[in-house]
């Protein structure tokens, strides 16, 4: 006679969420490169191999992490009061807010997104709004993927490059790239948030003026 689910010989001392949270803590502290089974085990005070009672391999742990993060994205449709334009901004803003708080996980999202329910829920809501905006068929497909590409790309460019100054600035200021260094000079006054929102606004204007 098989055991009941809650009558295991020894109860697990961890929930998958706790495990994922520990992994996320490691990532936030030491970056994606710092994520190792050993580091996570130490974080929760267990032996390395104990983790394998919870996940089959490192990949499954990564999946747990992105699901933990993405599940905190509010995927409910924003109030219908505002325009579709603003509602997309809200949806994208929510995603950026959550993911931008843990930028190291973006590569994990790209790798595991097809297994993520959270991404699907978010996409579902966004697609619905796009439909309301009058986009359908090809254009809607394109718009959705385009939004995702932008979010994913922008977050990485913002957070995952090494400090912007020493590299670009020095070379740019050598007078070899006049237009660029002029632009770079003005970039100083533009905060990351404004930059992101500005780009998103361009994108949305383009979607609105669909051909």
Residue 204 partner contact from DNA, its own copies, none using kind-dependent CB cut-offs of 5 to 8 Å: its own copies
SS3 content of the chain, % helix, strand, coil (to 5): 75, 0, 25
Binding to its own copies (CB under 8 A) within 111-130 occurs at: 111, 113-115, 117, 120-121, 123-124, 127-128
Q: Do residues 116 and 66 touch, judged by C-beta distance below 8 A?
A: yes
Determine if 191 is a binding residue for its own copies (CB under 8 A).
no
Determine if 164 is a binding residue for its own copies (CB under 8 A).
yes
Using CB under 7 A as the criterion, which residues of the chain lie in contact with DNA when the complex forms? 1, 3-4, 6-14, 35-39, 46-50, 52-54, 57-59
Determine if 193 is a binding residue for its own copies (CB under 8 A).
no
Determine if 198 is a binding residue for its own copies (CB under 8 A).
yes
Distances (CA, A) of 136 to 83, 87, 124, 127: 17, 17, 14, 9
Distances (CA, A) of 204 to 24, 148, 183: 32, 13, 23
Comparing CA positions, the residue from 150, 166, 172 lying closest to residue 88 is 150
Residue 148 partner contact from its own copies, DNA, none using kind-dependent CB cut-offs of 5 to 8 Å: its own copies
Q: How far is the CB of 118 from DNA (least distance, A)?
A: 23
Which pair of structure tokens corresponds to residue 138? Answer: 């090809």
Q: Do residues 98 and 151 touch, judged by C-beta distance below 8 A?
A: no
Residues at the contact surface with its own copies, assessed by CB under 8 A: 107, 110-111, 113-115, 117, 120-121, 123-124, 127-128, 131, 137-146, 148-154, 156-157, 160-162, 164, 166-168, 171-172, 176-180, 183, 186-187, 189-190, 194-195, 198-199, 201-207, 209-211
């Amino acid at each position: 006679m098989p055991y009941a689910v809650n009558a295991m010989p020894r109860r697990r001392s961890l929930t998958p969420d706790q495990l994922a949270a520990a992994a996320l803590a490691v990532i936030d502290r030491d970056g994606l490169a710092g994520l190792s089974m050993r580091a996570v085990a130490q974080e929760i005070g267990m032996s390395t191999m104990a983790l394998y009672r919870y996940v089959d391999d490192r990949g499954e742990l990564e999946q747990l992490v992105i699901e933990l993060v993405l599940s905190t994205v509010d995927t409910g449709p924003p109030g219908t009061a505002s325009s579709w334009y603003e509602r997309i901004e809200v949806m994208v803003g929510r995603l950026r807010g959550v993911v931008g708080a843990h930028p190291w996980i973006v590569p994990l999202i790209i790798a595991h997104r097809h297994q993520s329910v959270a991404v699907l829920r978010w996409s579902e809501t966004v697609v619905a709004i796009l439909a309301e905006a009058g986009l359908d068929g090809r254009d809607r497909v394109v718009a959705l993927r385009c939004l995702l590409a932008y979010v994913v790309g922008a977050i990485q460019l913002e957070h995952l490059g090494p400090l912007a100054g020493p590299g670009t600035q020095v070379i740019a200021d050598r007078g070899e790239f006049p237009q660029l260094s002029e632009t770079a000079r003005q970039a100083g006054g533009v905060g990351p948030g404004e930059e992101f929102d500005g780009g998103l606004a361009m994108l949305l204007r383009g979607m609105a003026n669909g051909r």
